[in-house]
Amino acid sequence: SDYEQLGYNLRSNLFQGGPLKIRSLMRDSYTPDIIQKATRDPNNWHGRRIYELGKWYEKYFLDLNVQKAMKDKYG
């Protein structure tokens, strides 16, 4: 059966898994000095400022709370 074949393949190690060394396109494309110079700015997250994200989440959760309250009050 399929179950027995799968067990046999696992026991005989036909499925050896992924590569032992993980490679990335950035590490393959750039020299190590470029990667070391790259710094992350915590105040600028993908073009958005942290406080802008905080305001968005605040409005989002306020909206969720209003919807929940309306549902509780009016069904």
Q: What is the pLDDT of residues 13-63, one digit of tens each?
A: 666 666 667 777 777 777 777 767 777 776 766 666 667 777 888 899 999
Q: How far is CA 50 from the centre of its chain?
A: 18
Residue spans of the domains in the chain: they are 2-41+48-74
pTM higher than 0.75 for the full model? no
Q: DSSP string covering the chain, please?
A: -HHHHHHHHHHTT----S-SS---HHHHHS-HHHHHH----TTEETTEEHHHHHHHHHHHHHHHHHHHHHHHHH-
